[in-house]
Amino acid sequence: MKSKVQFRLRIYRDDSIAIGPGKIALLEAIAETGSISAAGRQLGMSYRRAWMLIDEMNKALNSPAVSTAAGGSHGGGTALTAVGEQIVKHYRAIESTARVAAAADITALTRLLAQ
C-alpha cells in the first residue's frame, strides 16, 4: 500500500492553531451545508468538536469567521462571514503556491521516507 504524503500549513496564535487544515475543511463544510452540525457530520466529528474549533478560531480573529442564527420554529443556520470566506480563499491560495514552489524539495524529502 502506498502511503499518502502531505504538506500541511498551520498558522498559530500563541500555543493554539488559529488556522489549519481541519478548520479550513470545517469552514468549507459549513459554507456547503449551512450548518455546524451537518458540517461536523460530513467531516466525522461531533457538533461539540466542530463548535469548539469554530469558537477557537473566532477568538483568534479580529472578526468572526462564522455567524450563527439560533434555531427554533423557522430553523437556524450558520454561514461564513466575509472574513471566513477570505480565510478559506487565502489559505487555499497559499497551499497552491507552496505546492508549486516547493514541489522539487517536497519530492526530494518524500524520497527519503521509508516505504
Cell digits of residue 2: 502506498
Q: Is residue 32 part of a domain?
A: yes
Q: Is residue 82 part of a domain?
A: yes
User: Do residues 21 and 10 make contact, with C-beta atoms less than 8 angstroms apart?
Assistant: yes
The model's pLDDT over 36-45, given as tens digits with 9 standing for 90+, comes to 999 999 999 9
The model's pLDDT over 13-70, given as tens digits with 9 standing for 90+, comes to 888 889 999 999 999 999 999 999 999 999 999 999 999 999 999 999 999 999 987 7
pLDDT value at 3 more than 70: no
Q: Is residue 1 part of a domain?
A: no
Q: Give the chain's domain count.
A: 1
CATH number at 44 reads 1.10.10.10
Place of cell 461531533: 46
Residue 14 — left, alpha, or beta (φ > 0 → left; ψ -120 to 50 → alpha)? left
**Residue 68, amino acid:** T
Q: Is residue 46 part of a domain?
A: yes
Q: Taking the model in full, what pTM does it have?
A: 0.84
For residue 19, give its domain range: 11-65+75-111
Rounded mean pLDDT of 91-97? 93
Q: Is residue 103 part of a domain?
A: yes
pLDDT value at 1 more than 70: no
